[in-house]
Structure 1
Amino acid sequence: MKKQFIFILCGLFLCAGTIAATDYNALQQGAVGDGKTLNTKSLQSAIDALHAKGGGQLYFPAGRYLTGSLQLKSNVTLYLEKEAVLLGSTSPYDYPGFSTEKELKVNNDHFDQALIYAEGAENIGITGEGCIDGQGRELALTIDSLHHTGELVDKHYNTYRKRPNTRPKLLFMRNCRKVELRKTNFRSGAAWGLSFSLCTDLTIDSLHVENRAYWNNDGIDISDCKEVRISNCFINSADDGICLKSHNRGAWNDRVSISNCHIISSASAIKFGTESLGGFKNVTIDKVVRTSTMTCADQR
C-alpha cells in the first residue's frame, strides 16, 4: 500500500510539471504586429511571466513585431508562425549591453549586444517557420552615423576598415544548457548571426540563415561548447559560414557534429579559429555543400 501511494504521488508531481507549462499569445500579452510599434516591454514581460510560472511557449501569430533586445530565460520557447516576423529595432539605444567582459578582453570582438540573448539559461528554444530579422544594415548604418556625429561614440571603432565594431548580433547565448533551434529563418544581423559560448547540449536543425547585411557577418559561431548538433541548415553569410572558436583557456569545443548543410560564404564555409585559446576535439563534418558567394539576398 505504501509503495502504491508513493507511485500515485510521483504521478501527481509529473502531471503538475506538465500543467505548469503555459502558452502565451504575443498579441494577447499586449504586443502589436504592425511593424511600427516597439514591443520590447510587452514581449519581455511575457517571457518573464512564463519563466516565473515554470516555463512555456510565447507564440507569435502572423504579423511583424518590432522589438529591441530580448532576454530568453529558462524553460521558455519562442514559436513563430510562418508569417510571423520578429523585427529588430534600428535604434542602437534599444540594445543594452550584457556582461561578456571576460571574452571581450580575449577576442576583442566587442559584440556585447544582441537582438535575442540568454545567459545561464536551460531548456530554451526558438522554433516555427517564421523569421527573426535584425534589420542589420539600417541598424549598423545608424550606429556608424551616430559615431561620426559624436552622439554615440564607439570607443572600439575600426578606423582602418571604417566601420563600427560595437554592433548587435542576431542571437547570443552564453553558459546555457539544452538549447533547441529548429526550422526558423534568421536574417540581417548587424554583426554575427547566431553565436554560442560555453553552452552544452545544443541542437540547431533546419534553420535558414541569411546574414549578409553588413561587414564581418558570420552565420553561426560556436565557442567552447559541448554536445553540439548542427544539421539540415542553409547558411548564406558575408563572412564565415560556421565558425568554431575557442575564447577561453582550459575550455574547448567537444562532441560537435555538422551534417547535411549548404553553406554560401565569402570566407570559409567551416572554420576553426581564429580564436583558439582552448581547442577543438571530437568534431565530425559530413555532407556539407559549399558554394561561392552570390549576390546579396533580399534584406527586407
Structure 2
Amino acid sequence: MSINFVKKARGLFAKPAVEQPVSNSRREWLAKMSVPAIGATVGMGLMGKRASAFGIDSRPDDHTIGAKVYNIRDFGAKGDGKTLDTKAIQAAVDACTKDQGGTVLVPAGTFVTGTVELKSNVRLYISAQGILLGTADGKQYYAADAIPLSGDSTLNDGNVGLFFAVKANNIIIEGPGTIDGQGSQFRSPSKGVMPPAGITGPHRPYHLLFHQCKNLTVRDIYLLNSAFHSVRVIQSEFVKMEGLHIRGRVINNNDGFHFISCRYVHLTNCDVQSQDDACALFGSCKFVTVDGCSFSTRWSVFRFGGGEAENITVSNCIIYETYGCPVKMRCGPGSRFENISFSNIIMRDVTGPVSIGIGLQNGQSADPKKAPGIIRNISFNGITATVVKPVPLRETEHPSVYNPGEIFSCVTLNAMDDVYMENITFNNVQITFPGGGTTEQGAVRDVPKVAGEYYQIGVPPAYGIYARNVRGLVLHNVSLSIAATDERPALIFDHVEDAAINGLNVQGDAKAESVCRLTDCRDILMTAARIKGAAPVFMRVEGRNNYRIVVDGGDISKASKALELAAGAQKDAVKMRII
C-alpha cells in the first residue's frame, strides 16, 4: 500500500471547497453509508486487507487508533465449518490489541477453533450468523499456565478455555451470534473410556475463562453445549453479564455461571438452562447483583461455597424445572456468608427450595485452626414456590437418579453443635409442597449433622420448614400448603432462639403428630397463626430447655388440641392466647 493511496483516502474526508456543489459534498457521501459500513471502511477498507497487522495504522496522526474493525476473514479464517481457524482468530486479536484495541469481527460462517487468548481493549463481536465452533480435537486446547490450579473450590479446578484472558482489562464479547463448545465430544461413552475429543476432566475447555480481569462485559450471545462450565470468572472485578442465553446439558458438570472470589458483578436478563450449578458463587464474592434472569437445572441454581460471600442481591428471577436446590449455601469452617437478599422470586416445579447449612460435609475432618462458619443476615422476600417430586430434566443427555432426601424436600436451615446461623428472614413467602411424607419420617429426631448436599440429612422430618440452631428467625406472612396428604409436621424448630412468627398460614394433616414441633427453643413469639385442615395437635413442645414460648392470637381451632408437652417440657415454658 503506498503513502499516496493513504493520502487519497484521507482526502475523502477533506473539507470541500466553498464552490463545491452540495450534491458532491461529504455530507451526501456520509448519508449514503451506514455507521457499520463507515467503521469497516475506516478500519479495514481504506487501509487495505490486514493493514493493522503491518503497523500502517500505528501512525500518530491516525484518528482511528483503538476503533478499527478486524474481520477475522481478512486474517485467513475460512468459516467453512471444517478448517481450523484458530490462528486467524488469534492473529486478529493480537493485531487489535497491538493497535490499542478495537473490534474483532466474526462475520457469517462457522469458524472452527481451539483455544484463543483474548487481550486488553478487545471487543469480540459475533454477528447473527456467525458461529465460533469449538473443535472436537482436544489437542487444539491448551492450559493458561498463569491461572493456578487447586482442588480447593474457592480457587480453581481447571485452567483451559475456548476463549480465555488473564490480567486483561476492558474486554467485551457481544453480538447475536453463537459460541458452540461441542460438549458431547468430551463425554465418555462409558466409564474408563476416553471421550471422542481425547481429553477429559479438568483438561476440558470452558466456553469463557477469565482470571484477574477488570472491566469485563459479555452480552447478548448464545453459549451452547460447553465441554465444562460455560462462563468461569476468577478473582475479577467490574463484571457485567447481560442478555446471555446459556444452554448446556450434554455433560454432567455443565455449569452456567461460575464466579470465584469476584467483586462488583452484575447479571441481568440472562436465561440459563444447565445440567449443573446455574450460578455458583464460590470463594469471596462481594457486591453482586442478579436481576431479571431465568434458570433451570438438575442441581443448584444459586450455590454458595467457601470464602466470604457478602453484599449480594438476587431479584426478579424465575427458577423453573430445577430438580436439585434453587438456593444452596454451604458454609464450612473459616467461611462467612453475610448480607444476602433474595426477592421477588418465582420457583416453579423445583425440589429443596432453600437449603442453608453450617458445618462439616460428610467425611470432612475438623480443622482446629479454622473458626466455625458464619451465616447471618440472609433474607427471602416475595417468594412463590411450587415444590414437586423430581422427574428427569427435559432435553438432557443424562439419566437422573434421585436420593430420598431429594424426593422429600423442604426449606432447611441446618447448623449444628454450638454453632448458630443468625438473622434469617422469610417475608411474604408462599410454598406448596407435594406431600406424601409418612408418620415414620416425621417421627425422626436424630437428623444427621452434616452440611454437604441438601439431601444428605436424609428425608427431612418436616414437609415445610426444618430449622436447627438458628438465632434470630423471622417468618412473616408465610404460607405452607401441601398438594397431597403429608403426615409430617409442617414446621420443626430444633434449638431455635429469638424467633418471631407472624401470620403463619399452615396446612395440617389428621395423621401428623402435630402441625409444629419445637425442641429446646427459647424466646419464640408466634402471632396470628392459622391452620388449614384438621390436625390432632397444633404445637408439640419437647425438651427441658424450652423457655418463653408465646402463642398470641390466631385461629388454630381446626386442631383438636392446642398444645402437647413431651420429653420433659415444662408447662410454664409456653403461654397461649388463642381462639
Q: Same fold (TM over 0.5)?
A: yes
Partner Cα separation in structure 1 for residue 79 and residue 190 of structure 2: 25
- Answering whether residue 73 of structure 2 is matched by residue 27 of structure 1, we say yes
Partner Cα separation in structure 1 for residue 227 and residue 190 of structure 2: 10
The alpha carbon displacement at 1:166 in A equals 2.9
1:57 paired residue number: 103
- Answering whether residue 216 of structure 2 is matched by residue 179 of structure 1, we say yes
Partner Cα separation in structure 2 for residue 30 and residue 169 of structure 1: 25
The alpha carbon displacement at 1:281 in A equals 0.9
Q: 1:91·1:139 contact (CA, 8 Å) conserved in 2?
A: no
Q: TM-score, normalization: structure 2?
A: 0.44
The alpha carbon displacement at 1:18 in A equals 5.6
**Aligned partner (choices 263, 286, 294) of residue 226 of structure 1:** 263
Q: 2:187·2:195 contact (CA, 8 Å) conserved in 1?
A: no
**Aligned partner (choices 137, 141, 145) of residue 95 of structure 1:** 141
Q: Secondary structure at the match of 2:74?
A: helix
1:44 paired residue number: 90
Q: Secondary structure at the match of 1:269?
A: strand
Code of the aligned partner of 1:54: Q
Q: 1:90·1:142 contact (CA, 8 Å) conserved in 2?
A: no
2:167 paired residue number: 120
Q: 1:21·1:56 contact (CA, 8 Å) conserved in 2?
A: yes
Partner Cα separation in structure 2 for residue 65 and residue 272 of structure 1: 36
User: Which structure exhibits the higher relative contact order, with contacts defined as CA atoms closer than 8 Å and separated by 6 or more residues?
Assistant: 1
The 5-angstrom pairing of residues 235-274 of structure 1 reads 235-246=272-283, 252-273=284-305
Partner Cα separation in structure 1 for residue 69 and residue 144 of structure 2: 27
- Answering whether residue 341 of structure 2 is matched by residue 295 of structure 1, we say no
1:134 paired residue number: 181
Identity %: 30
Once the two structures are superposed, residues 2-26 of structure 1 have per-residue CA deviations (whole angstroms, 9 ceiling, x without a partner) of xxxxxxxxxxxxx977633221111
Q: Secondary structure at the match of 1:272?
A: strand
Q: Secondary structure at the match of 1:213?
A: coil
Q: How many equivalent residue pairs?
A: 267
Q: Secondary structure at the match of 2:264?
A: strand
Q: 1:109·1:165 contact (CA, 8 Å) conserved in 2?
A: no
The alpha carbon displacement at 1:111 in A equals 2.0
Alpha carbons of structure 1 residues 172 and 143: separation in structure 2 relative to 1, 3 Å: farther
The alpha carbon displacement at 1:37 in A equals 0.4
2:228 paired residue number: 191
Code of the aligned partner of 2:231: L
Code of the aligned partner of 1:254: K
Q: Which moved more, 1:212-221 or 1:94-103?
A: 94-103
The alpha carbon displacement at 1:50 in A equals 0.6
Q: TM-score, normalization: structure 1?
A: 0.82
Alpha carbons of structure 1 residues 144 and 75: separation in structure 2 relative to 1, 3 Å: farther
Alpha carbons of structure 1 residues 87 and 56: separation in structure 2 relative to 1, 3 Å: same
Q: 1:115·1:169 contact (CA, 8 Å) conserved in 2?
A: yes
Q: Secondary structure at the match of 1:204?
A: strand
1:207 paired residue number: 244
Alpha carbons of structure 1 residues 17 and 54: separation in structure 2 relative to 1, 3 Å: farther
Q: Higher Cα Rg: structure 1 or 2?
A: 2
Alpha carbons of structure 1 residues 91 and 200: separation in structure 2 relative to 1, 3 Å: same
What is the aligned-residue RMSD (CA, Å)? 2.6
Alpha carbons of structure 1 residues 55 and 216: separation in structure 2 relative to 1, 3 Å: same
- Answering whether residue 204 of structure 2 is matched by residue 167 of structure 1, we say yes
Partner Cα separation in structure 2 for residue 74 and residue 206 of structure 1: 22
Q: Secondary structure at the match of 1:106?
A: coil
Once the two structures are superposed, residues 133-179 of structure 1 have per-residue CA deviations (whole angstroms, 9 ceiling, x without a partner) of 00011133499887489x96x7xxxxxxxx73432111110000000
Q: Which moved more, 1:108-117 or 1:213-222?
A: 108-117
Once the two structures are superposed, residues 56-83 of structure 1 have per-residue CA deviations (whole angstroms, 9 ceiling, x without a partner) of 1111111100000110000001101111
Partner Cα separation in structure 1 for residue 173 and residue 231 of structure 2: 12
Partner Cα separation in structure 2 for residue 295 and residue 95 of structure 1: 30
- Answering whether residue 309 of structure 2 is matched by residue 280 of structure 1, we say yes
**Structure 2: tracts of 5 or more residues without a match:** 1-60, 323-392, 398-579
